[in-house]
Amino acid sequence: VASCIVLGLETLHKANLLYRALSPELVCLDSRGYAVLMEFRLAKLGLEGSTLCGTPEYLAPEQVHNQGHGR
């Protein structure tokens, strides 16, 4: 599951997209058992951001400390 998530995030970053909503509730398994990222409402085009969004329990430390976020 973890490798699927990492590959998914890597693919998004290569397309200049920030996912910004990673939490267990937004990862589902498809019929073959592969993890799929769901819910792209908070995704953002561009690799830098400073907007605080996402599930508070799963925010990156740099978001919590208002340092912006990126790759």
Burial of 20 (0-12, 13-18, 19+ CB in 10 A): buried
Assess if residue 21 is contained within a domain: yes
Assess if residue 32 is contained within a domain: yes
Residue 71: partners with Cβ closer than 8 Å, 6 or more residues away: 13, 47
Assess if residue 34 is contained within a domain: yes
> How many Å apart are CA 26 and CA 55, to the nearest integer?
10
**Identity of the amino acid at 10:** E
Q: What total number of domains does the chain contain?
A: 1
Question: What domain range includes position 30?
Answer: 2-64
The pTM is what? 0.73
- pLDDT tens-place string over residues 10-67: 999 899 988 888 899 999 999 999 999 999 888 888 866 667 777 888 877 877 787 7
Assess if residue 71 is contained within a domain: no
CATH, residue 22: 1.10.510.10
What confidence tier does 69 reach under pLDDT thresholds 50, 70, 90? low
Assess if residue 30 is contained within a domain: yes
